[in-house]
Structure 1
Amino acid sequence: MAHTDWADERYRFEQRVARSAVGPPEHFSDRDGTTMLTVATLDAFEGDYGSTPYLMLTLGLSKAGRFLRSGDWGRVDGTFRSGTQALVLPNAEAEGFSPKARLMGLNINPERAHTVLADVGGIDALVPAAGSLGDDPLISSVMTALWHDAEAHGLCTAFLDHGLDLILRRFVEIDRPRSSASVRRVKPLSSKEIQKIAELIESRIGSDLTAAEIASELGRDMRSLTRSFRASTGYAPYEYLTFRRMERAKELLQTEETIMEIALQVGYSNPAKFAAAFRRFCGCSPSEWRCGVR
């Protein structure tokens, strides 16, 4: 995958917040954009959430209402209110709706999170937390403290490092209260299982397919499948699905088909969403890639 330009991703995220914010948002960022803290009141929303390479943590700061996020990691359906927490894994595609609400968000470079959680399975240990809304007092208090510290000192203090580590580990503890020794054991995928996943992905490359469906096909829970698949291939299942879609798109870009037609054939009804995924994996837009190979 292409190197992530975090300064560019920070700009994209700030623009996305600005489009839905009611009033001016507060943004705090480290120098290279790999960690961001944002506080904003966002208008009610319905549609495609869009994806980002950040690991995203969100805390409700006001009364809100019903929330739905359905996508790569399954379905999260509940009530968002003050103190509610949500976690979204990097590059996760989803759609749904959310109420008007004042929120605080922490965007984190996933490599950082993977390093912090290396002893408990890395970022894959957060998969269960991404499947539900939380209401943990410790997470709320630490996130709030990080916000007030950022207002006073910016997002460059030792407290930020300590706070992020506390939050990430707490998300893991809530959803999996067992010994780290048991977590480290990863049952590898057999060659037949890998082949079955590859065949499923190739057969569904132009239609909706979630990580939950892949896990169900193998009779595994999503967390164990993700860890085993990454150990065997270097990818999480949803990352591999996107990778294969982009490889197929490269083949189609050497034909006379339009970008819209190609997007539809590799599972994207929105060409802008396809272009964003292509740039993330290939380092350039589909049009730029086409010009470079023809």
Structure 2
Amino acid sequence: MPRACPAPRRAVLYVPGVTNGAPTHQRPRTRVRAWRPGVAGIAEVFHAHFTDHAYPAHTHDTWDLMILDDGRVDFAVDRRRHGAAGTGAVVLLPPGVPHDGRTVNAEGFRKRVLYLDTRVLPERLTGAAVDLPVHADPLLHRRLGQLHGALDALGDPFEAESRLAFVRERLLSHLGAPAPVGGTPGRAAAPLAAALRELLDARIRDGLTLDEAAAVLHAHPTHLIRSFRRAYGLPPHTYLTGRRVERARRLLLAGARPAEVAPAVGFHDQAHLSRHFRRHLGVPPGRYAAAPARDRPPPPLGAPGSPR
């Protein structure tokens, strides 16, 4: 059986707006959503829209990595005040250091936060983070947005781990820490990519974590991903998803039901299979298997029944 990917536990809280102590009966002014993903290094994911909230001074035992989606926020770290505004700001707050936060205007702010443990960033980088908590880095902001997207999609831990590796690499550069060296000295990228592809092909159903792949192949995770993309034109998590969809097609055409196919090819559940199947082929798996042969997309080149 494939390794189970536990569904994140999510909590959503709505707080009605208040004006002069009376409910406004309008759309809720505060929205909070939180869950714990099944990805090593990420203790919690937290999304919020605040319009009239002020955090008291407090600390975390994790790193607080925030992207601001819109609005403005004012906060203090170690008794020094800072501000962030706009759609591109990234804020990194270290563990154990007191900080607060508050809205600046009536529009408030929307944020997405990752709470990262010290496997991602070591505590020794706390001083550098206190000195520079706000980063105007469009690439880091984009990578964090992609990571949040992967964490929002149930059953994609391999993609989330891959995206977290690049976020970590970027944060280390901001904090003045040298990123780990690529991989085993003298090992060329092309053979490394081929070895990773063989490993993924052997683990289509069961899957594997990025750390497992890196340990087996003796390479740093980001070097492994870059080597694979350079060799095959796509990241390894995208390749693995495509192989699972390809295998699902064959099972569906052989008469298996989508609910049976999903775990057999490594998807979390039928909904996870359907989402990727529709993205690849334009129809859900049930309709694909029921369609007349003339209406189905042709099989991939090299697959059984495809033109040579």
With the length of structure 1 as denominator, give the TM-score of the two structures. Answer: 0.47
Which structure has the highest strand share of the two?
A: 2
Which structure has the highest helix share of the two?
A: 1
With the length of structure 2 as denominator, give the TM-score of the two structures. Answer: 0.46
Larger Rg: 2
